[in-house]
Amino acid sequence: MVAVQSAPAHPRYVWWNGEMVEWEQATVHVTEMEWVGVSAVFEGIKAYRNPEEERINIFRLPEHLHRFDDSMKLMNMEPTWSAAELRDAIVELLQANETKDDTYIRPMAYFGRGGRSFRGRTEEAPNILIHAYPFKTALKTGKTLNAGVSSWTRISDNVMPPRVKAVANYRNSSLAWNEVQKNGYDEAIILNDRHKVAEGPGACVMLVKRGRVITPPVTSSVLESVTRASLLQMFGEQLNTPSEEREVDRTELYLADEIFFCGTGSEVTPVVSVDHYQVGDGKIGPITARMIDLYHDVVRGLDAPYDQWRTAVAGKTRKARAK
C-alpha cells in the first residue's frame, strides 16, 4: 500500500531580517517575548489567485507597505529595509513557497534584544518578519453578520493612535469582540470617545442610506484602511454611487438600508442586524452585493479595472536562500 503524503501544515519559508529562513528554524529565545507587543506593528495583506491566468495577485501591496512605514515611524522604528525592498521580499517569499492559492501575508516589525521594558524604543533597528499562509475568502459566499454595539470605547489618537496597525491596539478590539460574542452577536461595532461610530474590531464600517454610502472619517478613531479607500474610489468610478465621509450616530445604524464591514480580513461582509434591529430587509442589500462582485473581480484581476492595484506573482524564479 502506497502512503499518501499530506500537504505541509505551514509554508516552507518565512522571510526574517533579510533572509529566507525555513519554518522550523525561525525561532527566538522565550525571554525575547516579554515586551514585544508594546511597540510591534504589522500589516495585513492578501493575495488572490487568478484562475484564468494561473497566477496570484497581491492587492495594493505598495499602499500597505507605505502604511507599514507609517506604523514603524510612529513607534520610533528606523527600519533597515525600504518599502521597495520589502515588496521584493514578499514576492520572493511567495515564489519560494510556490504559492498558488489565496494567501494572507503578514509583515511584522518588532524590537527584540534590548527591548526589555515598556519604553519600546532601543538603539537597535527593528526585526522584520514576513510570513504567509492560505485563507478561504468569504466573497460571494452569502456570508452575513449580526452585529452588536460594544460598551467599550474605541481608543483615540491621543491615547493609542488607531490609524496605524499596532499590535497593542488590538487589545481594545479583543475586549469589544469578546463582549459581543458573549452577548450572542457575530461581530462588534465600537463607538469613539465622542459617542460616534468608529469601526469594528478589525474592519471599517460603511452604511447605505437612500442610495448613498456613508462612512466615518479617518479622524473618527479608525484605521487608515487601504480597503476602505479602495471601495470609496470604486463606488464613485465604477458603481456611480455617491459616498460621503462624516460622523455617524449610533441610531443611524438602526435606520440604515444596508451596512457592511470592509477591510483586508473582512473583505466586504454584509451586516443584517445591529443590536437586534434588522438592517433593511435582513438580506444582503443591492449596493453591497454589487460591491462584493466588483471587489471579487478586482482583487483577482478577472477582466477588471485597476491593474495598477495588483502585483502579479508568477512561479518560482530563483532558489530561496536558507539561513
Number of neighbouring beta carbons within 10 Å of residue 245: 16
Task: Tell me how far apart the terminal alpha carbons of the chain are, to the nearest angstrom.
Answer: 37
User: For residue 315, what is its C-alpha cell?
Assistant: 512561479
Catalytic one of 140, 165, 182, 316:
165
Q: Which residues partner with 145 through β-bridges?
A: 271
Secondary structure (3-state) at 292: helix
Q: Using CA atoms, how far apart are residues 87 and 5, in angstroms rounded to an integer?
A: 33
Contact 180, 93 (CB under 8 A): no
Task: Provide the strand spans (E) within the chain.
Answer: 13-16, 19-22, 41-42, 45-50, 55-59, 103-110, 127-134, 145-153, 187-191, 197-199, 204-209, 212-215, 243-245, 258-263, 267-274, 277-278, 310-313
Contact 151, 175 (CB under 8 A): no
Is 283 known to be catalytic? no
User: For residue 157, what is its C-alpha cell?
Assistant: 489618537
Q: Using CA atoms, how far apart are residues 68 and 62, in angstroms rounded to an integer?
A: 10
Contact 106, 42 (CB under 8 A): yes
User: For residue 96, what is its C-alpha cell?
Assistant: 519560494
Which residues have a catalytic role annotated? Answer: 165
